[in-house]
Structure 1
Amino acid sequence: MRSVLLFCLAALCANAMAEPAVDLQGPVAGWRYSGLLDRADDARVTYPTPPIDRGAQRGRSLIEGSLKNLQGTRQPHRLVVNGNPLPLYTDEQGRFVRPYNFGAGSNSVEVVSGDGQSLKRVQFYEANFNKTPARVRIVLGWDDPKAELDLHVVTPDGQHAFWADPVMSNGGGLDTDSVDGPGPEMFTMTAPLHGRYLVFVNYWGNLNSQGYNFTEGSNQNEVITAQISLVFNENTPNEKRETFIVPLRGIGDLQLIKSFNY
Structure 2
Amino acid sequence: MRWVISLLITLVCAQVAWAEQPTAELSEPVGGWRYHGLLDRSENPRVAYPTPPIDRGVQRNRTMIEGQLKALGTLRPPHSLAVNGNPLNLYTDDQGRFARPYAFGAGSNSVEVRSSEGKSLKRVQFYEANNLRTPARIRVVLGWDDPKAELDLHIITPDGQHAFWASPAMSNGGGLDPDGVDGPGPEMFTMTAPMHGTYLVYVNYWGNYGSGGYNFDENSNQNEVITSQINLVLNENTVDEKRETFIVPLRAIGDLLLVKTFNY
Partner of 1:3: none
Stretches of structure 2 that go unaligned for 5 or more consecutive residues are: 1-10
TM-score by length of 2: 0.87
| Aligned position for 2:258 | 256
* Corresponding position: 1:105 with 2:107: yes
Q: 1:70 aligns with which of 69, 72, 76?
A: 72
Deviation at 1:230? Answer: 0.8
Question: Structure 1 residues 239 and 55, CA, compared in 2 at 3 Å: closer, same or farther?
Answer: closer
**C-alpha distance in 2 between matches for 1:35 and 1:11:** 51
Distance 2:240 2:208 in 1: 39
Aligned to 1:82: 84
Deviation at 1:101, TM superposition (A): 1.8
* Cα distance, 1:92 vs structure 2: 2.6
Alpha-carbon distance between aligned partners in 1 of 2:211 and 2:73, rounded to the nearest angstrom: 25
Measure the CA separation in 2 of the matches of 1:93 and 1:258: 39
Q: 1:259 to 1:142 in 2, by over 3 A?
A: same
CA RMSD of aligned residues (A): 2.3
Alignment of 1:133 with 2:130, yes or no, is no
**In 2, distance between residues paired with 1:55 and 1:82?**
20
Q: Which amino acid in 1 is paired with 2:49?
A: Y
Aligned 8 A contact 1:16 1:71 in 2: no
Instruction: Say whether residues 1:118 and 2:120 are aligned partners.
Output: yes
Percent of aligned pairs sharing the same letter? 73
Q: 1-side partners of 2:47 and 2:170: how far apart?
A: 28
Give the whole-Å Cα distance in 1 for the aligned partners of 2:40 and 2:147.
26
| Residue matched to 2:37 | 35
Q: Which runs of 5+ in 1 are unaligned?
A: 1-9
Paired position in structure 1 for 2:61: 59
Q: TM-score, normalised by structure 1?
A: 0.87
| C-alpha distance after superposition, 1:138-157 (max 9, x if no partner) | 11122223322211100111
3-state SS in 1 of match to 2:37: helix
Residue in structure 2 matched with residue 176 of structure 1 by the alignment: 178
Specify the alignment match of 2:18 in structure 1: 17
1:257–1:25 distance in 2 versus 1, CA, 3 Å: same
Q: Quick check: 72-81 or 167-176, which moved more?
A: 72-81
The aligned residue for residue 225 of structure 1 is 227
Q: Which amino acid aligns with 2:112?
A: E
Inter-partner Cα distance in structure 1 for 2:95 and 2:235: 38
Distance change (3 Å), C-alpha of 1:188 and 1:55 = closer
Match of residue 196 from structure 1: 198
Structure 2 CA distance for partners of 1:39 and 1:132, relative to 1, 3 Å: closer
**Candidates 209, 217, 222, aligned match of 1:215:** 217
Q: Decide whether aligned partners of structure 1 residues 254 and 107 sit closer, same or farther in structure 2, where only a CA change above 3 A counts.
A: same
Q: Distance in 2 between matches of 1:183 and 1:95?
A: 17
User: For the Cα contact (< 8 Å) 1:74–1:114, is it kept in 2?
Assistant: no
In 1, Cα distance between equivalents of 2:107 and 2:136: 11
Deviations 1:236-257 (A, max 9, x none): 1111111111112222221111
Could you say what secondary structure the match of 1:66 adopts?
Answer: strand
> Is the Cα–Cα contact under 8 Å of residues 154 and 201 in structure 2 kept in the other structure?
yes
Residue pair 1:101, 1:176 contacting (<8 A) in 2 also? no
Contact 1:225 1:247 survives alignment (8 Å): yes
Cα distance in 2 for residues equivalent to 1:82 and 1:105: 11
Q: Matched residue pairs, number?
A: 253
Say if 1:37 and 1:127 are closer, same or farther in 2 by CA, change over 3 A.
farther
SS at match of 1:34: coil
C-alpha separation in 2, matches of 1:180 and 1:33 = 33
- Amino acid aligned to 1:111: V
Letter in 1 for 2:80: R
